[in-house]
Chains A and B, each alone.
Chain A
């Protein structure tokens, strides 16, 4: 699977990322590097522990990385959960709902990237 197909599968925008990062090799390098990024793991663990300030930071980082790589689908759900986690008044049921969405989107994203590296 090439990079363009991978972006299609994870519902991102290859056009957008190509505008921001000059070379395809660089895009590929960072897309692969996404697999070792710890922010998703930090997000799920801290939501489980109801540690929402740590969760906010992790979600914020995940959102930023997705934005830079133009992983549109995962960006949208991580952006929503970032806003749900911001501040002190947390709607726990909303967070529970959104974390499931992030998990689903993360799996779709990671699965697509893993096919790329094969």
Chain B
């Protein structure tokens, strides 16, 4: 049975004697960290280690006093994360009031009664733990709900694509391009009054732009050659059919997402010069949502292979759009495309489901910041977002192959840099199927065999490997950790790790 770890209390006081008083009464039940002044306290909080569960803070100190510590904590937004109890011989009521205003949970005046301090520390911790737990539950639920939403939209659009014989990546690509273009657009102008909520709605509903295609006969939809005039007229109805499908929803018809999706369905084949279909809308008569998705749609259609054409290069597609060979777009949107072209190419070549989820989470966080004036339940969400951002930053900077393998699905997710090293364009690998070759190597097999010697108590393993990936010899040191459902499991459920300092050996 694992020993329950103690909660951590940070004591900030310049007098060793004062710290000793507090330590003496608290060390039996808590882990204590000491800081001699405000600067040290802030360093400890920002060190990246697990933050303390509670802080006992003196006011009068050299370097940085207690109020300066509080104002720094307010600035970094951590005052809501770590409860602070102020302890001071300053008994002036304005001082006490100021401390409360700056967010301290409690104020204890000297001289204090030992039993009372202990009790107040316990109460503050209990309250805070309860609040934290509630915040986590809400965060998880909001996250889960948002994830399910996106999943449903994705399933729906996948049904359309499936029939269409498209790659399955089309919706995902449109999603990414739409998002990138929108972010760029709102930086350039505020004439469309797009809030981050609008951006998120447009991005999510972009996946639904072609749902009207379910009414188009397969023979027309998948015809390799050129469509006849009659066939093309039928094909064109996918815009109006899609819109009426959504208009005809018995419920949710007036939901903002449905309305945005309806506009996109109906008008994503309009042209800025008024020569598009079905309504021949011109210029800014076309809702910005439909304009953006139209551009994203054309761009992805050009750069992907279809039953009637080969894929064009990104440069070729970019030039064709700019020369007006494939529709007419607002000059401002073309400017956005030019500005973000490199980012779009990178995104399309290199995205995994994790990154999309992360992007959606960004949107979600923005949305919540806007919707919720009270920031009481923001911190944990920001934390998740921050962790993802940090992890992404480090994985790019670290130039290492990181992997996260799930035994139950035989799927491994690797870092973007790792994928590049292995010469593949995906970060999700199916190791029991098409990507099994990567493991077909003596040193890799040896390493895998040794994983069975790990246990929940000793889950880590290192070893040197040398293997061949797409014609390149790679060697390096693997550090891995097996993941276990609980301490009594007999078999691990996953393996995470990294290949550090990998070197390519030219053959």
Contact = CB atoms under 8 A, between A and B. Distances in A.
Interface of A: 16, 19-22, 26, 29-30, 33-34, 37-39, 54, 56-57, 60-61, 63-65, 67-68, 70
Interface in B36-63: 60-62
Given A20-B111, A20-B112, A61-B14, 11 more contacts: A26-B24, A30-B20, A30-B21, A33-B20, A34-B17, A37-B17, A60-B60, A64-B18, A65-B15, A67-B89, A68-B21
A69 to B, nearest CB: 8
Contacts of B18: 61, 64-65, 68
Q: How large is the interface on B (under 10, 10 to 19, 20 to 34, 35 or more residues)?
A: 10 to 19
Given A54-B62, A60-B89, A63-B89, A37 B114 contact: no
Given A33-B20, A54-B62, A57-B61, A64 B113 contact: no
A24 B115 CA distance: 14
A19 B62 CA distance: 31
15 contacts: A16-B111, A20-B114, A30-B20, A33-B20, A37-B15, A38-B16, A57-B14, A57-B61, A60-B89, A61-B60, A64-B18, A64-B110, A65-B15, A65-B18, A67-B89
Contacts of B61: 57
A12 to B, nearest CB: 11
Interface of B: 14-18, 20-21, 24, 60-62, 88-89, 110-115
B16 to A, nearest CB: 7
Contacts, number: 56
B89 A64 contact: yes
Contacts of B112: 20, 68
Contacts of B110: 64, 67-68
Contacts of A22: 114-115
A33 B343 CA distance: 64
A105 B112 CA distance: 23
Contacts of B89: 60, 63-64, 67
Contacts of A60: 60, 89
A112 B360 CA distance: 70
